[in-house]
Structure 1
């Protein structure tokens, strides 16, 4: 059965067309409009639209039906749009059939609504949840800068902002976007204040696990400064984070020996933790040593002599360390490495360097001006 294109007819006529079509699919809906008015008719149609996912096999046909419903939502007075919009999102986002069509019609609704309407948030969250479950999050705009602009425009309460960020974080975890998920979770923790930081225990716990589990995240000291994370002091998860910030491989191994079940309960890979701790231990050594012999590496990293060079090369690929391997002397010659922790003393050093640059830049500028004057005179 072909679907009518609902244009150039009245709202009432469009609802009648949709009612009749849904009835033909087997939906329990009257073919006549209700006495409750246009809003009631639209809600009846949205409630009955579940039948489309069961009976319509053609994706284009299914999309046309839901686009027809969207056109009706947009014809409502602005004060009546929110309720059917949220109902529409509930009906479209729940289910595993035709996920691409579901996401597309939600996107159509999101883009069709006035960008300043606060309940666009509900549409966006539905899109994110659906995209996470169907591994199609790459089709949704998840840029944090854009999301912050929307949050500011919609002027929504902080609780809704936090729910949005949690939803986005979960979808990113489901689609293996670990690095982006980490940024979103840190953004979420930043929404808590001194007054309510103690309420963020679950979010802080989840943030730590996400960062530890991300194979590409090595700098973790900034997490310890977050207020919600500070409230976890004294708990095993905070102790584990502290080891990854300042500890060495042997400390992690002792922690694992004492808390094997805890590590497993977090869903973290012990082997991946060992790999990351070996990297971090080497980085910490490179902060104070310009030459590290292979024998020391074997002892500290607890690896065999045949694995030393491969280990160093693997670390070099992370770009966290710049070094050369001296095979004859069996040494690693360190050129530079990132700071595993960046505290007050490092900021002071950076300030001192910048302050020294200022007069040097001024002298260079004056020299260039003098040279320019000489050339002009010639």
Structure 2
């Protein structure tokens, strides 16, 4: 999808005139004559009517025409080319169907990759690329991670405001197809705010929380509480709900839901059954931190499930790889080997420090033992030589 623009063996002015003639033949309101104001004015006129080829046009022919326009655009100095770029991108976001959207996406990729890496215009092209990719069902070809996104603009980073705008459109594009990546994008968005402007990010912060709670694969929610825009929501119901998911067990969520059903179901649009499923997993993780062994009866009470649901639930937990455990069906118990922590605060850092300290002590003991073995081997060899 990142093919180069095709350069035709004609002057830019002649190429523009050929395009004018072509669009005129399709019924566009454009003169066939070159502009007396220069190639930039030609481009403005051509781009203004280029979408006429979308009507009953052959995708291959349309691709060739759009590529011709791209070839002219990247062949001239674009010091004043922002309006030209934006006009072209806006036209291509109006592709009427999926096949044409894919053609437009290819053209935008050519434009993006033929602009200098240091060009600030690349941002505008990429922003529209994301929108066209949604129309064509090819978002995964355009965006597959925040690190990849940042590398695209390494030589000319967009402003904070531009990145916020881009993150918002990416979140909107991804929320229905890749909730995990959508959640990461929103967290990255909130990270762009400072103490000075965090208070204006209320809507973004709420979207971030809702996306993270709704994502069936996001369980480590504690980092959200440290984000500046999220801290500004303290005292509001959305922040209270997030706190429940961060550190409370299922009964706390059930109490919250009983008191705020309308808020959960309608105002923020979460699914209660999915919330319960996630809270059961989080509750089990928390129990597993301090209980290396749990009975089926204990799990029934803590998770509010029936006897027949215990084993299927444990199997689902094991699939997430959040917990390593073994089912003891004969004794109706679950033996825990390890679990991911729901939160990672001072107690967890202290526990990690203790584990590393113990590991270091054990390594020193092994090292001392190896030294003694080596010394004994040397002494034995010396004695054997002396005996001969």
Say yes or no: TM over 0.5. Answer: yes
Q: Alpha-carbon deviation of 1:370?
A: 7.9
Is the 8 Å Cα contact of residues 324 and 336 (structure 2) preserved in structure 1?
yes
Residue 32 of structure 1 corresponds to which residue in structure 2? 33
Indicate how the Cα distance of structure 1 residues 288 and 67 shifts in structure 2: closer, same or farther if over 3 A, else same.
same
Indicate how the Cα distance of structure 1 residues 362 and 47 shifts in structure 2: closer, same or farther if over 3 A, else same.
farther
Indicate how the Cα distance of structure 1 residues 85 and 242 shifts in structure 2: closer, same or farther if over 3 A, else same.
same
Separation in structure 2 between the aligned mates of residue 72 and residue 145 of structure 1, nearest angstrom: 32
Is the 8 Å Cα contact of residues 133 and 171 (structure 1) preserved in structure 2?
no
Q: Alpha-carbon deviation of 1:279?
A: 1.0
Is the 8 Å Cα contact of residues 92 and 101 (structure 2) preserved in structure 1?
no
Q: Alpha-carbon deviation of 1:124?
A: 0.7
Per-residue CA deviation, residues 265-322 of structure 1 (Å, 9 max, x unaligned), is 3222111111111111111111111221112222222222111111111111111112
Q: What secondary structure sits across from 1:77 in the alignment?
A: coil
Query: Where in structure 2 are the equivalents of 1:24-63 lying within 5 Å?
Result: 24-56=25-57, 58-63=58-63
Residue 252 of structure 2 is aligned to residue 270 of structure 1? no
Q: What secondary structure sits across from 1:219 in the alignment?
A: coil
Residue 67 of structure 1 corresponds to which residue in structure 2? 67
Q: What secondary structure sits across from 2:175 in the alignment?
A: helix
Separation in structure 2 between the aligned mates of residue 148 and residue 277 of structure 1, nearest angstrom: 34
- Alignment gaps of 5+ in structure 2: 1-5, 383-388
Q: Alpha-carbon deviation of 1:168?
A: 1.7
Residue 214 of structure 2 is aligned to residue 213 of structure 1? yes
Query: Where in structure 2 are the equivalents of 1:298-377 lying within 5 Å?
Result: 298-358=300-360, 360-361=362-363, 364=366
Is the 8 Å Cα contact of residues 221 and 246 (structure 2) preserved in structure 1?
yes
The aligned length equals 371
Is the 8 Å Cα contact of residues 249 and 277 (structure 1) preserved in structure 2?
yes
Separation in structure 2 between the aligned mates of residue 68 and residue 7 of structure 1, nearest angstrom: 8
Separation in structure 2 between the aligned mates of residue 77 and residue 366 of structure 1, nearest angstrom: 70
Indicate how the Cα distance of structure 1 residues 184 and 6 shifts in structure 2: closer, same or farther if over 3 A, else same.
closer
Indicate how the Cα distance of structure 1 residues 349 and 11 shifts in structure 2: closer, same or farther if over 3 A, else same.
same
Q: Alpha-carbon deviation of 1:362?
A: 5.2
Separation in structure 1 between the aligned mates of residue 64 and residue 339 of structure 2, nearest angstrom: 57
Is the 8 Å Cα contact of residues 223 and 229 (structure 1) preserved in structure 2?
yes
Is the 8 Å Cα contact of residues 300 and 310 (structure 2) preserved in structure 1?
yes
Structure ID, larger Rg: 2
Q: What secondary structure sits across from 1:94 in the alignment?
A: coil
Indicate how the Cα distance of structure 1 residues 359 and 95 shifts in structure 2: closer, same or farther if over 3 A, else same.
same
Indicate how the Cα distance of structure 1 residues 75 and 371 shifts in structure 2: closer, same or farther if over 3 A, else same.
farther
Query: Where in structure 2 are the equivalents of 1:101-120 lying within 5 Å?
Result: 101-120=103-122
Per-residue CA deviation, residues 325-346 of structure 1 (Å, 9 max, x unaligned), is 2222212122221111111121
Is the 8 Å Cα contact of residues 167 and 189 (structure 2) preserved in structure 1?
yes
Q: What secondary structure sits across from 1:286 in the alignment?
A: helix
Q: What secondary structure sits across from 1:103 in the alignment?
A: helix
Separation in structure 2 between the aligned mates of residue 368 and residue 99 of structure 1, nearest angstrom: 67
Larger displacement relative to structure 2 (191-200 or 139-148): 139-148
Residue 198 of structure 2 corresponds to which residue in structure 1? 197
Is the 8 Å Cα contact of residues 25 and 55 (structure 1) preserved in structure 2?
no
Q: Alpha-carbon deviation of 1:153?
A: 1.8
Larger displacement relative to structure 2 (63-72 or 285-294): 285-294
Q: Alpha-carbon deviation of 1:9?
A: 1.1
TM-score, with structure 2 as normaliser: 0.90
